[in-house]
Chain A
Amino acid sequence: DAGVTQSPTHLIKTRGQQVTLRCSPKSGHDTVSWYQQALGQGPQFIFQYYEEEERQRGNFPDRFSGHQFPNYSSELNVNALLLGDSALYLCASSLGQQPQHFGDGTRLSIL
């Protein structure tokens, strides 16, 4: 049973560029959440998708957007990249009130 899978594992971009990160949820899960984890910090909630709609959003600017597809997979898009966007981006999936399961993340470096 595959868990949460994220791609790519590593990514290097330059300031001002745009990036798309991808996530496939654990089998049977219908909800996807995205978190940003800066170096030495705990993860911070970006947003959550359920039934292809953004259900909940954290304190992140509009440069951060997402999408959920009918097969429950999800994308995180970040526009106009800043140096401060360098972080590990974690995807988590869940079903109902069950705890969230996390993927191994995408390490994004901005030059």
Chain B
Amino acid sequence: AQSVTQLGSHVSVSEGALVLLRCNYSSSVPPYLFWYVQYPNQGLQLLLKYTSAATLVKGINGFEAEFKKSETSFHLTKPSAHMSDAAEYFCAVSPPNQAGTALIFGKGTTLSVSS
């Protein structure tokens, strides 16, 4: 069975600092991987996705993530945090070639950005 683990339920950074949110997956075969962001009182917005093409994936708002099969990881990074990045971030996995089926989510990481 597939699962996702997000290390660190809360990450705090200063404005302009590097953002690193960690995600590890468990799957018998390399899955499809996603990062979603959720702002207060809103639904989830797709930041980026890995679907077995390039291992370094660029998303919206300056975020990117690298798929590392050897480490079963898909960490999310952004070189310079902005106040507007404060939100809840979820890593999710689906079986390969089934991006439209059930997503399995991690428990989320709350990102706080201070000035």
A-side interface residues toward B, CB under 8 Å?
4, 31, 33, 35, 40-45, 48, 56, 58, 90, 92, 94-105
Cα–Cα, bound, A35→B90 (Å): 14
Whole-angstrom distance between the Cβ of B91 and the nearest chain A Cβ: 9
B41, B44, B97, B102: the one within 8 Å of A45 (CB): B102
| Contact in complex: A97, B46 (CB < 8 Å) | no
| Contact in complex: B106, A42 (CB < 8 Å) | yes
B41, B100, B106, B108: the one within 8 Å of A100 (CB): B100
Q: Pick 18 A–B contacts, CB within 8 A, sort by A.
A: A42-B92, A42-B105, A42-B106, A43-B44, A45-B103, A45-B104, A58-B102, A90-B43, A97-B97, A97-B100, A98-B99, A99-B100, A100-B46, A100-B99, A100-B103, A102-B45, A104-B42, A105-B42
| Contact in complex: A48, B101 (CB < 8 Å) | yes
| Contact in complex: B44, A99 (CB < 8 Å) | no
- Assuming A41-B107, A97-B99, what are 17 further A-B pairs, CB within 8 angstroms? A33-B102, A35-B103, A41-B108, A42-B106, A42-B107, A42-B108, A48-B101, A48-B102, A94-B99, A97-B97, A97-B100, A98-B99, A98-B100, A99-B46, A99-B99, A103-B43, A105-B42
Contacts of A99 in B (CB 8 A): 34, 46, 49, 99-100
